[in-house]
Structure 1
Amino acid sequence: MTDAARLTADLIRCPSVTPTEGGALVLLADLLTEAGFEVHRVDRNDTPNLFARWGARGARSFGFNGHTDVVPPGDPASWSHPPFGGHLHDGLIWGRGATDMKSGVAAFVAAAIDFVTETPPDGAVILTITGDEEGPAGDGTVALLDWMVGQGERMDVCIVGEPSNPDRMGEMIKIGRRGSITFRVAARGVQGHAAYPHLARNPLHALTQFLHDLIATPLDQGSEHFDASGLQITSVDCGNASSNVIPETATAVINIRFNDLHSGDSLIRDLDARAQAISERTGVELTLSASISGESFLTRPGPFVDLVREVVTAETGLQPILSTSGGTSDARFIKDHCPVLEFGLVGHFMHQVDERVPVEQVHQLKAIYQRILERYFA
């Protein structure tokens, strides 16, 4: 039996702060190779990634995806136990990555090894593990998927092992995610004296009109599987240190988390049109630039979702909610490759000082993953 809790602690002891590999993928590569997996390092632009497959290429396959990179721990003195110590105490594993998500990786690696060893399937088990999820993400799972296409490798379905449960194991499966787009708005007017506004064009007035119009009316009321899209103004600035000067320029930053009623391109067209209308009305030039970090997606309920839901219920006694809540994950890349969902631990301590995970939860997650594999290949 492969001990998922011990493997979690071993992975925590690898200081793999993005983009440093820290020994985590080396540890997993050795373990998987010994278990009979074909293993490849798929590094791109110095970003570490790992691909592993048990079984024949092209066979019916089940995939798991996760990451071993972690966010910085901050001041180690603030931690009850060293952040990279992998300390086991009071039934908990302590350290950076304990929740997000070295425990998830350890659980699906341990489940995969024990499954193929005890009941070798008529098919393939594929593991894709990146060291670039907490960072820019352009050379992580994306690079793995690009490499797989070139090699003729394919997952038929995939589970991303990110923490998915708010409070209790088994209460939620993520079957989709909202998209995310960030707009940077630059307003250029004419500088002048605050006492003579007719000789100036105030960029802040035009910019705040634009922002008010955006927040005055909701983007939508939600859809069948998604809540309403959310828009947040995260920054407004003009760099003006003087109270009697109308500034020449001002900027704002807007983040939109959007559902399946929109796309990144449709939101760009919408906001560009609104900005142009205000520019024509005020004489202040509004210029938008946009960065799309992910489109919304949905894995519709069906045989794959039903299988996972039934196993989770059998192992936990709970009927999981099918949710699209939360931020983004690497599932946003995998959804173009195969049906994907997310199921993992309770996410209470992600990115916190004293990040930790109950040992019992790690063992339970491994049991769920192994049972999913057994059911899938039955």
Structure 2
Amino acid sequence: MTHPARDPHAALRLAEALIARPSVTPDDAGCQTLIGERLRAAGFVCETLLRGPDDFRVTNLWAVRCGARPGPTLAFAGHTDVVPPGPLAQWTSDPFTPSHRGGKLYGRGAADMKSSLAAMVVAVEDFVAAHPDHAGRIAFLITSDEEGPSVDGTVRLVEWLQQRGERLDACIVGEPTSVERLGDTIKNGRRGSLSGRLRVIGVQGHVAYPQLARNPIHQLAPALAELVAIEWDRGNDHFPPTTFQVSNVHGGTGATNVIPGDVVVDFNFRFSTESTPQQLRERVHGVLDRHGLQYALDWTLGGEPFLTPPGPLSDALTAAIRATTGVTPELSTTGGTSDGRFIARICPQVVEFGPVNASIHKIDEHVEAASVDTLAAIYRGTLERLLA
């Protein structure tokens, strides 16, 4: 039987095996068991951390292999869970049956992010086979709760590692970061996310007698216009300016002749390192108070921003990408949040790199089939530059 590390399409085959497991959040569906078996065979010590209630049990994997010589700890991180496939009738092929058409691999999780996980595992298998006495340590942090609430996934794994005194030196998160072609974009940071639910309180009444009521929508409108117009900051060399966006507005009884008693507005900040959550909260409250609103406001901090300035990890990954594909990647901090925000608590260098993201969360999600093994070569090239 051909050893996985010697099969030129080992990463593609493992990606297919992972896609075939319907691991919709938080169900791991055996993905981590398969990955753990491969890693144990490569000399890793694997530990499973189960978290969450019985009806939403999250599976987390921590795996580590110690080298023969001193050196840094390089971790690979990712998630085995996927979003629901949506209407099955709209898929060209079963979302949990890996399928090939036109040189592409189709299936839920193909891009986000089972191809990355497969490439990471095979890259490590190949690297360890070639360098059994490598320097430092290689680690994996894998969860089944990234696409869901992210309450009992990577954040719990990181807390558990903190309690044990673990610290990482560098981490590659396998998020699908490439835009046009594999290798064109590395995420070296992410903006923070701060959400608010604002309830402005009025007095319900008949529209024909507004003097007997107080319309919260009318009261809110000038304050909301001011919030929308504010320049929160100008960003910096690494981050675009902080943005404020309203996502939902709920008000009224459904009747056209009733002034509502309240209006509820959901909004979100994606913020740079030029603003802090406390500063943003204070500025919003200042506007609302100045307009004399009666209101309640609940805040949710989804994540702090993190940034890895150019350095050893991004240099090694960039060199590996260039050597493998001929592409010079751009360092970017655009996009939403990721589990990198949690890992940054115990790791000074966190970057994200993976396949093209054009089809993520869509019907007929896919990647270029050849890119999966290319991605494994890039990850292995990074290991060679840091731990060989």
TM range (shorter): over 0.9
2:93 counterpart residue number: 81
Q: Which amino acid aligns with 1:349?
A: S
2:378 counterpart residue number: 368
Alignment gaps of 5+ in structure 2: none
1:9 counterpart residue number: 16
Moved more, 29-38 or 65-74: 29-38
Q: Give yes or no for the alignment of 1:117 onto 2:129.
A: yes
Instruction: Please list the CA deviations of residues 186-232 of structure 1 after superposition, one character each: whole Å capped at 9, or x if unmatched.
Output: 01112223233233221111222221111122322221111122211
- Contact persistence 1:207–1:286 (CA under 8 A): no
Structure-to-structure mapping, 1:49-128, within 5 angstroms: 49-55=60-66, 60-120=72-132, 121-128=134-141
Instruction: Please list the CA deviations of residues 334-372 of structure 1 after superposition, one character each: whole Å capped at 9, or x if unmatched.
Output: 111112011111111101111111121111110000000
Distance (Å, rounded) in 2 between the aligned partners of 1:41 and 1:307: 30
Q: Which amino acid aligns with 2:345?
A: D
Distance (Å, rounded) in 1 between the aligned partners of 2:252 and 2:216: 12
Q: Which amino acid aligns with 2:103?
A: G
Q: Give yes or no for the alignment of 1:40 onto 2:40.
A: no
**What's the TM-score once normalised by structure 1's chain length?**
0.95
Q: Give yes or no for the alignment of 1:211 onto 2:224.
A: yes
Moved more, 254-263 or 62-71: 254-263
Structure-to-structure mapping, 1:156-235, within 5 angstroms: 156-235=169-248
Residue 293 of structure 1: which of 286, 302, 307 is its match?
A: 302
SS of 1:362's partner is: helix
1:249 counterpart residue number: 262
Q: Give yes or no for the alignment of 1:150 onto 2:169.
A: no
Distance (Å, rounded) in 1 between the aligned partners of 2:252 and 2:46: 53
Distance (Å, rounded) in 1 between the aligned partners of 2:210 and 2:224: 21
Alignment gaps of 5+ in structure 1: none
- Contact persistence 1:21–1:48 (CA under 8 A): yes
Q: Give yes or no for the alignment of 1:330 onto 2:339.
A: yes
- Contact persistence 1:54–1:116 (CA under 8 A): no
CA displacement at 1:134 relative to structure 2: 0.2
1:350 counterpart residue number: 360
Distance (Å, rounded) in 2 between the aligned partners of 1:87 and 1:14: 13
Q: Give yes or no for the alignment of 1:271 onto 2:284.
A: yes
Residue 32 of structure 2: which of 7, 25, 36 is its match?
A: 25
CA displacement at 1:274 relative to structure 2: 1.4
1:313 counterpart residue number: 322
1:261 counterpart residue number: 274
Instruction: Please list the CA deviations of residues 82-118 of structure 1 after superposition, one character each: whole Å capped at 9, or x if unmatched.
Output: 1111223432221100000000111111101211122
SS of 1:100's partner is: helix
Distance (Å, rounded) in 1 between the aligned partners of 2:256 and 2:106: 51
SS of 2:105's partner is: strand
CA displacement at 1:59 relative to structure 2: 5.8
CA displacement at 1:56 relative to structure 2: 5.7
Distance (Å, rounded) in 2 between the aligned partners of 1:364 and 1:23: 25
Distance (Å, rounded) in 2 between the aligned partners of 1:305 and 1:18: 30
Distance (Å, rounded) in 2 between the aligned partners of 1:88 and 1:241: 49
- Contact persistence 2:252–2:261 (CA under 8 A): no
Distance (Å, rounded) in 1 between the aligned partners of 2:250 and 2:222: 15
- Contact persistence 1:263–1:296 (CA under 8 A): no
Report the identity percentage.
43
Distance (Å, rounded) in 2 between the aligned partners of 1:111 and 1:264: 39
SS of 2:266's partner is: strand
Q: Give yes or no for the alignment of 1:236 onto 2:249.
A: yes
SS of 1:42's partner is: strand
Distance (Å, rounded) in 2 between the aligned partners of 1:348 and 1:8: 18
CA displacement at 1:151 relative to structure 2: 3.0
